[in-house]
Amino acid sequence: MSRVEYADVSKRFPTQDRAAVDRLTLDVADGEFLVLLGPSGCGKTTALRMLAGLEHPDRGDILIDGASVIRLEPKDRDVALVFQSYALYPHMSVRDNIQYPLRVRQLSAAERGRKVERVAELLGIVNLLPRRPAQLSGGEQQRVALARAIVREPRVFLMDEPLSNLDAKLRTHTRTELKALQQQLGVTTIFVTHDQAEAMTMSDRIAVLERASRWRVARAHRRLAPRRAARGRRRRRPQGRAAA
């Protein structure tokens, strides 16, 4: 479990006129499930990728457990990211996909096997272990991607719209499962989505990003204040750390 902090983080891509993320300040507590909610292009995925180390912020700092991680390579940050497209390695079996991060950490074959079996049982995918990703449905691929993230027991889970490729029924079912799983594991989780229902049902708190420089944070069970009132509050309050 870990605490994550974005401290005044900004990012602008060379090909874009305006910043993708502008002065984002955000605290995510130990074991919390925070959802980044916002429309396409508002910078929520960029914020997630900066924490993963796949993008480098132009200014500001990102801290995990109080230590800055922005100079660390993705491999040294100990965070797991579930991609929107799942990013399963197509040339490996499901078993090899799940045990890949364990092989990287040079765990013995017996220990790898034990961990893979345990996480496969947890997610109900034991029967899928010998298959290739191309032989799986969207829902099954999503479970395998989750298993690969879980098996290495990272400090932080990052999820980039992992339910967007599922049909409506499966998505509703998976939301409940995912939330229960996060509570069981107690790992700090940041979940990106543009689906308000998803955000409300899964999160402990929601950070709403309307565009790069405009964001609000609220507890999930409260209704977010109407936009105009929120703007007024922001004007009165100096720029600084936002927390519910």
Partner 1 sequence: MTTRAASRVTRTAAAPRGASWIEALAVHVVFVLVAVFFLVPFLWLFTAAFDANAEAYIRFPAQPTLNNFVRIFTEHDFGRALANSVFVAGATMLLDVVAVALAGYSLSRLEWRFKSWITYAVLLLQTMPLSATMVPIYGLARALGLRNSYLGLILIHAAIELPFLIWLMKGFFDNVPRYLEEAAWLDGRSKLRALAEVVLPVARNGIGVVAGLSFLAAWAEVLMMIILIDTQDLKTVPLAFYEALRTRGGYTEVQYGIVAAMGVLYAVPVMAIFLATRRMMVRGLIATSRGL
Residues that bind partner 1 (CB under 8 A): 52-54, 73-75, 77, 79-81, 83, 85, 87, 89-91, 100-101, 104-105, 148, 152
Pairing label, strands 59-64, 33-37:
unpaired
- Across 184-210, b (16+ Cβ under 10 Å) vs e yields eeebbbbbbbbbeebbeebbbbbbbbb
Nearer to partner 1, 25 or 83 (CB): 83
Contact 64, 155 (CB under 8 A): yes
Nearer to partner 1, 73 or 169 (CB): 73
Nearer to partner 1, 159 or 206 (CB): 159
Minimum Å gap between C-beta 54 and partner 1 is 5
Nearer to partner 1, 80 or 208 (CB): 80
Q: For residue 88, count CB atoms less than 10 angstroms from its CB and return exposed for 0-12, middle for 13-18, buried for 19 or more.
A: buried
Nearer to partner 1, 91 or 233 (CB): 91
Minimum Å gap between C-beta 96 and partner 1 is 11
Minimum Å gap between C-beta 86 and partner 1 is 9
Minimum Å gap between C-beta 208 and partner 1 is 26
SS (H, E, C) 179-221: HHHHHHHCCEEEEEECCHHHHHHHCCEEEEEEECCEEEEEECC
Minimum Å gap between C-beta 22 and partner 1 is 23
